């Protein structure tokens, strides 16, 4: 069932809690700013009664402190009385839920409101208005009660290391899950307990977090390499199809169910789409359209994020029907920041929604033409500036000599050419003929005592070199074509 979102007049939890801090600030200017923001909220929509009452009481105290000329004590007493009456009525009436009306005193006792607030409200309504000193004290105590019973309970302050805690819990969950996938039944039973413990620890951590934690902590960690994006680049999706690797999404079903139980599917997957959009289609700002951004993920990383977009749309989006997720923000982000990755996201949306496909086709085609023109312009600029590269044996030897000089400078002269006798010793141990080694003068054998077996495609120290190229090079011709 789709959870109906609650409409509030503030734009974020940070703004909401910031107004609370302003209303209780020691600075009069900051308090007036908080009251002004609450007045703006009233114009936007419905404001919680506790927030409205806090702003009214703070406004009353500030008006008393900076009393304008001509404001008499009687007028102030009436203003205080009206503020206290509205405070008690608005708060206590929320508890009036039964078929028969209950007394104000009983309802106030149920929510922990001091009984003398109700008595003061009765006195201001039906009897003589109390003195200004009593009303000021009542207003100050009412603000203190609102701070303890409302504002402090709204605070969800997370420690500074929250991101690290979330990352550690998610990685522990994934490691425990991977351990349960062994084939031996005995080992499965041994690791089941560890997995349940990791899941319980993750559930406990997520349970104390506010809904904003999905956007601030959970989604950024999930999109890092090692979780939703495989650490091994060979296991990731690839452009242009961006197909989800076989079985990869299935292993995250348990985690997604846990997140849905905590915050609901709509919030979880819409925030996940928002995080992917922020990564693949960042605001271009002053960099310009189609410009590269430092925070843009690598090609294989981006392809995996597009694969997750396709998976979410397949599972939780119904074209023209009642969907779990809304894709409006995703489309806006991609259309505002056109590029290779955002174009791939738009193509994923087009595949999921035939109606939108017709509407998005002009934008997708425009991005394709713009990217092709950008690649052609770069190629033409490179050709005009450097000319056509000429490859000859002399050119390669010159480049090799320059690279060797730079290597010696970097190593401080430690990298010296191998002695020919040493190379002949290696040849005698079963290597290729020395003529093959020294014919070009460019290759040298690794010392026999330093060489260790390594997989094909890896360096001698076991590391795997990063050989992937940018996605936009797919459209670059390998050889210059003549007119």
Mean of pLDDT values over 105-120: 86
pLDDT range class, residue 110, cuts 50, 70, 90: confident
Q: What residues have CB less than 8 Å from 343, skipping those under 6 apart?
A: 334, 364, 367, 368, 371
Q: Which residues of 403-442 are buried (b: 16+ CB within 10 A; e: fewer)?
A: eeeeeeeeeeeeeeeeeeeebeebbeeeeeebeebeeeee
Distances from the Cα of 255 to the Cα of 166, 190, 479, angstroms:
13, 21, 48
Mean of pLDDT values over 130-137: 90
Most confident region among 223-232, 375-384, 473-482 by mean pLDDT? 223-232
User: Taking CA 130 as the corner, what is the angle to CA 128 and CA 133, rounded to the nearest 5 degrees?
Assistant: 165
**Residue 398 and residue 326: Cα distance in Å, rounded?**
59
Mean of pLDDT values over 439-467: 66
Give the pLDDT confidence score for residue 385 in this predicted structure: 58
Q: What is the pLDDT of residues 12-33, one digit of tens each?
A: 777 888 898 899 998 989 999 9
Give the pLDDT confidence score for residue 404 in this predicted structure: 81
Q: How many CB atoms are located within 10 Å of the residue 115 CB?
A: 11
Mean of pLDDT values over 323-337: 84
Give the pLDDT confidence score for residue 54 in this predicted structure: 93
Mean of pLDDT values over 151-157: 71
Residue 97 has pLDDT above 70, yes or no: yes
Q: What is the pLDDT of residues 230-262, one digit of tens each?
A: 988 888 888 888 889 888 888 888 888 888 888
Q: Among the listed ranges 39-43, 77-81, 156-160, 365-369, which one has the minimum average pLDDT value?
A: 156-160
Residue 439 has pLDDT above 50, yes or no: no
Q: Name the burial class of residue 55, with classes exposed (0-12), middle (13-18) and buried (19+) by CB atoms within 10 angstroms of its CB.
A: buried
The residue whose two tokens read 């109390």 is: 130
The verdict on pTM exceeding 0.85 is no
Give the pLDDT confidence score for residue 69 in this predicted structure: 58
Residue 442 has pLDDT above 50, yes or no: no
Give the pLDDT confidence score for residue 152 in this predicted structure: 81
Residue 368 has pLDDT above 50, yes or no: yes
pLDDT range class, residue 424, cuts 50, 70, 90: very low
pLDDT averaged over every residue in the chain? 77
**Residue 475 and residue 395: Cα distance in Å, rounded?**
28
Mean of pLDDT values over 399-426: 60
Q: Among the listed ranges 242-246, 407-411, 433-437, which one has the minimum average pLDDT value?
A: 433-437
DSSP state of 264: -
DSSP H helices in 112-150: 115-126, 132-146
Partners of 130 in beta bridges: none
DSSP state of 1: -
What percentage of residues in the chain have a pLDDT greater than 70? 76
Helix and strand numbers (H, E) in the chain are 21, 0
Q: Among the listed ranges 127-131, 188-192, 296-300, which one has the minimum average pLDDT value?
A: 188-192
DSSP state of 456: T
Give the pLDDT confidence score for residue 82 in this predicted structure: 92
Distances from the Cα of 358 to the Cα of 149, 354, 355, angstroms:
54, 7, 6
């Amino acid at each position: 069932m789709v959870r109906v979102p609650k409409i509030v007049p503030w734009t974020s939890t940070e703004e909401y809690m910031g107004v609370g801090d302003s209303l209780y600030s020691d600075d009069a200017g900051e308090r007036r700013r908080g009251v002004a923001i609450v007045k703006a909220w009233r114009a936007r929509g419905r404001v919680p009664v506790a927030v409205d009452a806090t702003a009214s009481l703070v406004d009353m105290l500030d008006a008393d402190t900076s009393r304008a000329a001509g404001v008499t004590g009687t007028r102030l007493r009436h203003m205080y009385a009206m503020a206290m009456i509205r405070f008690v009525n608005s708060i206590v009436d929320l508890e009036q839920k039964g078929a028969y009306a209950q007394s104000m005193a009983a309802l106030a006792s149920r929510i922990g409101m001091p009984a003398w607030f109700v008595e003061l409200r009765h006195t201001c309504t039906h009897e003589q208005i109390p003195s200004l000193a009593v009303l000021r004290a009542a207003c100050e105590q009412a603000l203190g009660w609102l701070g303890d019973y409302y504002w402090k309970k709204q605070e969800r302050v997370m420690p500074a290391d929250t991101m690290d805690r979330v990352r550690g819990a998610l990685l522990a969950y994934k490691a425990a899950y991977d351990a349960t996938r062994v084939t031996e039944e005995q080992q499965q039973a041994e690791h089941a307990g560890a997995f349940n413990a990791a899941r319980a620890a993750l559930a406990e951590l997520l349970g104390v977090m506010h809904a904003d934690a999905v956007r601030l902590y959970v989604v950024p960690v999930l999109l890092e390499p090692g979780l939703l994006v495989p650490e091994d680049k060979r296991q990731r999706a690839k452009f242009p199809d961006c197909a989800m690797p076989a079985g990869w999404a299935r292993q995250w079903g348990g985690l997604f169910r846990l997140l849905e139980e905590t915050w609901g599917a709509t919030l979880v997957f819409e925030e996940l789409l928002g995080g992917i959009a922020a990564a693949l289609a960042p605001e271009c700002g002053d960099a310009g359209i189609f410009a590269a951004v430092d925070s843009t993920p690598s090609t294989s990383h981006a392809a995996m994020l597009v694969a997750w977009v396709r998976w979410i749309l397949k599972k939780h989006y119904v074209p023209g029907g009642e969907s779990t997720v809304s894709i409006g923000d995703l489309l806006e982000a991609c259309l505002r920041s056109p590029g290779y990755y955002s174009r791939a996201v738009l193509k994923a949306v087009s595949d999921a929604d035939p109606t939108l496909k017709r509407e998005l086709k002009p934008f997708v085609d425009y991005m394709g033409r713009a990217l092709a023109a950008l690649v052609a312009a770069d190629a033409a600029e490179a050709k005009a500036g450097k000319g056509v590269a000429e490859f000859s044996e002399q050119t390669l030897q010159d480049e090799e000599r320059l690279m060797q000089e730079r290597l010696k400078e970097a190593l401080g002269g430690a990298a010296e050419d191998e002695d020919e006798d040493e190379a002949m010793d290696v040849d005698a141990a079963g290597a290729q003929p020395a003529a093959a080694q020294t014919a070009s003068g460019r290759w040298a054998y690794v010392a026999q005592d330093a060489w260790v077996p390594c997989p094909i495609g890896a360096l001698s120290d076991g590391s795997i070199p990063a050989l992937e190229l940018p996605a936009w090079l797919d459209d670059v011709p390998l050889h210059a074509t003549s007119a």
